[in-house]
Amino acid sequence: MNKKEFLDALAKKLSVLEEDEKEDIISEYTDTINEKVKNGETEKEAVKDFGNLDDLVKEILKAYKINPNYNDKKESFGKKSEAVIKEGAGIIADFSKKIANRFTSVNNISLALVIEIVIKVFITLLTAMVLAWVLDVFTNIGEDIFSHTFSPFAEVLSLFWMIFLFVIYILLIVMLISSMFKGYFTKEDSKVKNSKIKNDKIKEEVKKINNSPKKKNNGTTISDILLFIIKIFVIIWVIIPIIFIDIFGIIGLVISVVYLLQGLDLAGLVIMMVGITGLITYIIVILFNLVINKGKISIIPPIISIIIIIIGGILFTNAIMSIKYYDEVPNKIETVVKTKNMELDKVTSIHYVDFAFKEDVELLTDNSMKDGEVKLDIEYYKDFNHINITKETITEDCEYREDECVPGTEDYIYIDNDIDDFVATKNGYDIFINNLKHKKVYNYEKLYKGKLTITANEKTEKLIKMEM
């Protein structure tokens, strides 16, 4: 095995390490081999002095407190996934670094680093756009599926599905950013000099290299300023908004627990909210570790959170699907009838959009009534409506109108529900919660609507103009 074959094999087996750590090790073994060749040894002899490659890799990994058997078949799914992510990020990093080196000289390290970061930012944004497109596709699929359920649970399921996909999207983006850029935020010297490699010959060579003079950092560089700006950007535009999302998630969890204790079947929702808040909290931890140069990414916590979300989502969906829906109002809701007699002397428009559905409006003919007389019978639910009937005469000014307009005056009758929103909402809320405990849901919108019956003779009917 020559130098190139040895270094390629070593780099591949050390892919579990951080990119900068791996590069430092490869660099030092490269220098060690070159030194041996200068002293008269061949590349194969120099490589042979290191002993068995697998044993050497195990010693290096032990020095970095990593299980040397990480690549065994018994390796956990989580560690395999971490290795795949790191290896993928490493490939992109090497690719972007090669491109950056084409635009800059080897001596201009600061500018090369800037260009390398810009390239990685571009690749990250492109990947985020692709993932956003995938997110949009799955969101639409979920909305189409949930639209076949009844309101308001169709909207609730669609909302939680969107939140779930959004959290997964953020997690993937954060892990991508962390894998791509974490090495730039690290200031510690991660050279192999701090390791405990037992091979005495290697140890002596590494010690010589580490004792050689190092170039000092002459003040702040362009890359330092750029990295500082990136950190500020991540804190303001990423970490802080996600913290607020996490706070709202915790509030939602607390509310879910309160309703669960009140007797609602929300165990699945509580479990799902635990998973969502746990996943968002993990994302925040990753971002903080990225900014303050601490800790490593582990894929185990998000996998556990996703499993919890899926289990909770299944239980919550099952609870919703067991609820019976009735396209009517709940029984025993008191109704009242209000009658209003009015006189018409010309064409009059009756507006009822804020009170009744079109199918609940009826026009009756009673030729026993005198001309111009109209009777309005309004049936509504007492605790959810406060009916107000007003008649107005409006003068139509066509000066600034572009559509067809007839100048003059026209009479309007407005039938409005002007009940206090808080009162109406509270009354509806109490009934909704009580029904939900018994797994029943009604068309509560009808509680805020009524029935309108208009009675007049045939001649007067010609003066009535129905408008929603």
Ranges 2-16, 93-107, 111-125, 328-342: which has the least confidence: 93-107
* pLDDT score, position 19: 72
* pLDDT score, position 317: 85
Q: Which amino acid is at 49?
A: D
Q: Which residues contact 400 (CB under 8 A, 6 or more apart)?
A: none
Do 438 and 415 reside in the same domain of the chain?
A: yes
pLDDT band for position 311 (cuts 50, 70, 90): very high
Do 265 and 157 reside in the same domain of the chain?
A: yes
Place of tokens 């065994």: 72
Structural domain including 10 reads 1-75
The reply to whether 206 falls in a domain is no
Q: Which residues contact 43 (CB under 8 A, 6 or more apart)?
A: 2, 3, 33, 37
Which pTM does this prediction carry?
Answer: 0.53
The reply to whether 114 falls in a domain is yes
**Bridge partners, 340 (sequence order):** 376
How confident is the model over 384-414, as pLDDT tens digits? 888 888 888 877 666 655 556 666 677 888 8
The reply to whether 326 falls in a domain is no
How confident is the model over 186-198, as pLDDT tens digits? 444 344 444 444 4
Q: Do you know the residue count of the chain? A: 468
Do 121 and 185 reside in the same domain of the chain?
A: yes
Gap between the Cα atoms of 149 and 157, Å rounded = 9
Do 255 and 308 reside in the same domain of the chain?
A: yes
Over residues 420-438, the mean pLDDT reads 86
- Cβ neighbours, 10 Å, residue 106: 7
- Express as a percent the part of the chain with pLDDT over 90: 12
Do 69 and 103 reside in the same domain of the chain?
A: no
The phi and psi torsions of 233 (rounded to 5 degrees) equal: -60, -45
pLDDT band for position 304 (cuts 50, 70, 90): very high
Do 313 and 234 reside in the same domain of the chain?
A: yes
Do 47 and 110 reside in the same domain of the chain?
A: no
Do 153 and 283 reside in the same domain of the chain?
A: yes
* pLDDT score, position 73: 42
The reply to whether 301 falls in a domain is yes
* pLDDT score, position 297: 66
How confident is the model over 245-258, as pLDDT tens digits? 889 889 989 999 99
Which one has a higher pLDDT value, 257 or 90?
A: 257
CB 362 within 8 A of CB 453: yes
The reply to whether 294 falls in a domain is yes
**Bridge partners, 336 (sequence order):** 380
Gap between the Cα atoms of 417 and 338, Å rounded = 13
**Bridge partners, 419 (sequence order):** none
Last residue of a domain, one of 48, 75, 102: 75
Last residue of a domain, one of 30, 55, 75: 75
The reply to whether 211 falls in a domain is no
Burial grade of 320 (CB within 10 A; 0-12, 13-18, 19 or more): buried
Gap between the Cα atoms of 391 and 376, Å rounded = 13
The reply to whether 408 falls in a domain is yes
Do 65 and 151 reside in the same domain of the chain?
A: no
Do 87 and 223 reside in the same domain of the chain?
A: yes
* pLDDT score, position 198: 43
- Total domains present in the chain: 3
The answer for 329, left when phi > 0, alpha when psi is -120 to 50, beta otherwise, is beta
Do 131 and 275 reside in the same domain of the chain?
A: yes
Last residue of a domain, one of 45, 75, 105: 75
The reply to whether 376 falls in a domain is yes
CB 45 within 8 A of CB 36: yes
Gap between the Cα atoms of 196 and 47, Å rounded = 20
Nearest to 365 by CA among 258, 235, 464, 458: 458
